[in-house]
Structure 1
Amino acid sequence: MYLMNLVTAWGKIGVGICYDMRFPELAMIAARKGCLAMIYPGAFNLTTGPMHWELLLRARATDNMIFVGGCSPARNLEATYHAWGHSTMVNPKGEVIAKAGAEESIVYAEIDTNDIQEIRSGIPIYNQRRFDLYPDVSQ
Structure 2
Amino acid sequence: MKLSNEQLDKFDRDGFLLLKGVFDSEVDLDPIEREMDSIINQYASILINKWASGEFSNFESRCFSERFAILLGLTKGKLFSHLEPQLHFDDNSYVKIEELPALFLPKFHNMDRYFILPDSCFRWQFARLPIMRA
Which of the pair is proportionally richer in helix?
2
By relative contact order (CA 8 Å, sep 6+), the higher-ranking structure is 2
Superposition TM-score tier, normalisation by shorter sequence: under 0.3
Structure with greater proportional strand content: 1
Highest CA radius of gyration, 1 or 2? 2
